[in-house]
Structure 1
Amino acid sequence: MFGTHFSLKARAAGIAKVAGLAGILALAGCSATYQNHGYVPPEEDLMQLAPGVDTRATVDDVIGAPSASGMLSEGDYYYVRSRVRHYGMFEPEVIERQVLAISFDGQGVISNIERFDLRDGNVVPLSRRVTDSTVQGKGFLRQMLGNIGNVNPADFF
């Protein structure tokens, strides 16, 4: 009788350890993760640039090539940095976005330097690619049985 009682206590302790470990793993799975994308130069680097004086070549030398530029080859420079939070099963959320826009005049001289963030406007997707699903509006059985009539006996030989 003592041996049976002891084994029940040991099993209960083992179950409690497994349940505790599962709880810790579940909590760890619910923690947010963050991803940083892009680059915006720091303010001290921007202080080296003077509108009306410095050119496109100076910008390239001081702060580097932009992450995006205007539609034309001589367009404005845009440096974009985003911070995205991923939290469990929820859709990723952009929690911070900075855009540095450097405008140039017709001679390639800096005309304006501006900073924007999420408070200055709406989140605009820079690229969006959508592929239509071919299974939309089809039930499970129709998808499973849809190829039955498409079998060609010549394929077996």
Structure 2
Amino acid sequence: MRAMTGKLHRTIKIAGFVSVLAVMAGCTELDRFHGFIPPEEELATLNVGSTTKAEVITLFGPPKSERGLQNNTVYYASSQFRRFGPFAPEEVDRQVLAIDFDANDRLRNISRYTLEDGRVVVLDRRVTEDGINDITFLSQLLGSFGRIDAGQFLGEP
């Protein structure tokens, strides 16, 4: 009987230790990175007045936003989000690189914006309508009961 109590005590200790490790792992800080900003060394190769828009797109890839191409500006953006445990992610770093071109598609200016600048740069606005029109899940569920035909439900022809 004493051996059984010792095994149970040991099992409880192990389970407690594993539980503490799981809780600690769930509360670790996680960083997620999104987007792309060209490195400074590659930006230094661009020449104001001579580098074309096509050369920039070939060198760095397609821009973050197609809207900027209409304004003769190419945008590249990156963000860093930090998540701690069950809390919502918080954006801790954002960089937006705006490369402006003149009417002849030649490089005019390179600007960099960060969270500290407080400047809003709208890259794209994509909104998908859900078509639900503020109906709750329960309302949808209860509304579907009136559309069930008893004959179809029982499998009658």
- Measured against the shorter chain, the TM-score band is 0.7 to 0.9
Residues 60-89 of structure 1: CA deviation (Å, up to 9, x unaligned): 344333222435546210011111223322
Q: 1:27 and 1:47, CA in 2 relative to 1: closer, same or farther beyond 3 A? A: same
SS in 2 for 1:54: coil
Q: 1:38 and 1:15, CA in 2 relative to 1: closer, same or farther beyond 3 A? A: same
Q: Give, in whole Å, the separation in 1 of the partners of 2:119 and 2:71.
A: 27
User: Is 1:134 the counterpart of 2:135 in the alignment?
Assistant: yes
- Match of 1:114? 111
Q: CA RMSD in A?
A: 2.7
Q: 1:37 and 1:5, CA in 2 relative to 1: closer, same or farther beyond 3 A? A: same
Confirm or deny: 8 A CA contact 1:69 1:76 kept in the other structure.
no
1:19, CA displacement in angstroms?
0.7
- Match of 1:11? 8
Q: 1:25 and 1:112, CA in 2 relative to 1: closer, same or farther beyond 3 A? A: same
Confirm or deny: 8 A CA contact 1:79 1:101 kept in the other structure.
yes
Q: 1:66 and 1:149, CA in 2 relative to 1: closer, same or farther beyond 3 A? A: closer
Q: How many residues end up aligned between the 2 structures? A: 150
Residues 28-87 of structure 1: CA deviation (Å, up to 9, x unaligned): 011122221111100111111122232213323443332224355462100111112233
1:108, CA displacement in angstroms?
0.8
SS in 1 for 2:22: helix
Q: Give, in whole Å, the separation in 2 of the partners of 1:143 and 1:64.
A: 45
Gaps spanning 5+ residues in structure 1: where? none
Q: Which moved more, 1:6-15 or 1:125-134?
A: 125-134
With the length of structure 1 as denominator, give the TM-score of the two structures: 0.78
1:93, CA displacement in angstroms?
1.6
- Match of 1:28? 25
User: Is 1:46 the counterpart of 2:53 in the alignment?
Assistant: no
Q: Give, in whole Å, the separation in 2 of the partners of 1:28 and 1:124.
A: 36
Q: 1:78 and 1:148, CA in 2 relative to 1: closer, same or farther beyond 3 A? A: closer
Aligned identity (percent) is 32
With the length of structure 2 as denominator, give the TM-score of the two structures: 0.78
SS in 2 for 1:108: coil
1:17, CA displacement in angstroms?
0.9
Gaps spanning 5+ residues in structure 2: where? none
1:27, CA displacement in angstroms?
0.8
SS in 1 for 2:63: coil
What is the one-letter code of the residue matched to 1:118? L
